[in-house]
Amino acid sequence: MHARLTARADALESNIHKAAIGLAAFFGFGEYKRDTMSALVPTYARATLAFVKGEGVYLETAEGERYLDFGAGVAVASLGHAHPALVSALCEQAQALWHTSNLYSIPGQERLGERLAEATFADQVFFANSGAEAMECAVKMARKYHAAQGDGGRYRVITFEGAFHGRTLAMISAGGQEKHLEGFGPPVDGFDHVPLGDLGAVRNAITGETAAIAIEPLLGEGGVLTVSWKFLRDLRALADEKGILLIFDEVQTGIGRTGKLFAYEWAGMTPDIMAVAKGLGGGFPVGACLATGEAAQGLTAGSHGSTFGGNPLAMAVGNAVLDVVLAPGFLARVRDISVALKQKLAGLRDEFPDVIEEVRGEGLMIGLKCAVPNQRLIEALFEERLLTVPAGDNVVRLLPPLIVEPEHIDLACDRLGAACGAVSAALDRS
């Protein structure tokens, strides 16, 4: 066993600059040197790895190497790769109609909107193309709500330290993280940042200019940081008390990722506005802003729009995703399998405390707080052909497709154990 771990440690050290360096650099947790010419703007420090095929929970390279995908395109491939229902829906729609614009009614949009409203707190839905756009709509909606009430001076939104709401100028300002803001000039005005979980700080930040509070019920990019359900309920009460709106960013947590259709359900309360994307399209670009009729009243004809938002292709896939996720027993199964995964991860944490400090998260949105630089573990996992995603607070995220089976959990944990063993052996040698 020792010889095998030593060999793995040697292999890990010899491949220290492999693909995971690119992934870590993109998320701001490593360095990257561009050493190839490309016509692409180098905003992505990409891994030196390309996939040409996917099936279920696996991705495959042109050379036929298969990787177990526990990143799911950063929680996007909610139903895995090439899911038959999604493929069928997209192909059928592609043969009929691709795009008409929102100058006309789009039947699939009406159907998906009604289904999302029926399954949630919402009365109305606006469709966009991404999570950032959904959050932009949420902020505009909150501002316009107060303007419609005759109080246009309420435009500021309280957000939380460590948050990530997207990459537009407004959304990097909403997140407030220096690594995202650097070099882009002054932040967009209108966002006030407070410590996560500090209700007193939220209360103190509310002024006559405050329009809303915006929060991720479980911070993804920030390190899979959990927010107590009580804190979310307290935010609801505080928003009601002050006459402001509560916005949830469920771009990553939504569509079953935490074991409920949306994470707010765990808290036993509802927001006024909610941004959704990622898993809703299962890999096809789609975003949505859901809201109560009261909160959405300011968005009248001509006040907001999107050229591609809610196009027939996206709506066909979104409806197909809901067909699967809302089927009886699907979400219960996600909850059950997430318990099995957490139990196995807890065992690995106990076995390798020099590598894993903590296991966090809800459902199939899991964070491994690392005792070593998270990039070292990610690199070792690449060697084991297990794909994961880095996050803030020195975390490695596990975001498997919601269709993951027990045998995939077992295999992933075997590979994680081997990777931890290699990292641990390398530590002993250093």
What is residue 71's DSSP assignment? S
Whether residue 96 is contained in a domain is answered as yes
What pLDDT digit, counting tens, does each position of 235-248 carry? 999 999 999 999 99
pLDDT of 27 strictly over 80: no
Domain that holds residue 136: 84-325
Rounded-to-integer distance, Cα 412 and Cα 426, Å: 21
Quickly state the pLDDT bin for 287 (edges 50, 70, 90): very high
DSSP 125-176: EEEESSHHHHHHHHHHHHHHHHHHTT-TT--EEEEETT----SSHHHHHHH-
Contact between 371 and 200 (Cβ < 8 Å): no
What pLDDT digit, counting tens, does each position of 347-398 carry? 999 999 999 999 999 999 999 999 999 999 999 999 999 999 999 999 999 9
Q: Token digits for 406?
A: 């027990």
Q: Which amino acid would we find at residue 177?
A: Q
Whether residue 39 is contained in a domain is answered as no
- The tally of domains found in the chain comes to 1
Whether residue 188 is contained in a domain is answered as yes
Residue 35, pLDDT score: 47
What is residue 188's DSSP assignment? P
Residue 392, pLDDT score: 94
Residue with tokens 């606006």: 126
pLDDT of 116 strictly over 90: yes
Q: Token digits for 388?
A: 């994961």
Whether residue 383 is contained in a domain is answered as no
Q: Token digits for 112?
A: 């998906």
Torsion angles phi and psi, residue 84, rounded to 5: -55, -40
| 2-11, 15-24, 407-416: the lowest-pLDDT one | 15-24
Rounded-to-integer distance, Cα 287 and Cα 9, Å: 42
- CATH number for the domain including 168? 3.40.640.10
Whether residue 203 is contained in a domain is answered as yes
Whether residue 97 is contained in a domain is answered as yes
Whether residue 148 is contained in a domain is answered as yes
Report the 10 Å Cβ neighbour count for 169: 15
Rounded-to-integer distance, Cα 99 and Cα 307, Å: 10
DSSP 328-396: TTHHHHHHHHHHHHHHHHHHHHHH-TTTEEEEEEETTEEEEEESS-HHHHHHHHHHTTEE-EEETTTEE
Q: What is the pTM of this model?
A: 0.91
Contact between 100 and 312 (Cβ < 8 Å): yes
- Give Rg (Cα) of the chain: 22
Quickly state the pLDDT bin for 298 (edges 50, 70, 90): very high
Strand pairing category for 365-370 and 66-69: unpaired
Rounded-to-integer distance, Cα 393 and Cα 161, Å: 12
- Helix, strand, or coil here: 397? strand
Contact between 280 and 288 (Cβ < 8 Å): yes
Whether residue 409 is contained in a domain is answered as no
Rounded-to-integer distance, Cα 125 and Cα 110, Å: 9
Strand (E) or helix (H) holding 72: helix 72-75
Rounded-to-integer distance, Cα 344 and Cα 341, Å: 5
What pLDDT digit, counting tens, does each position of 324-344 carry? 999 999 999 999 999 999 999
Residue with tokens 């690995």: 348
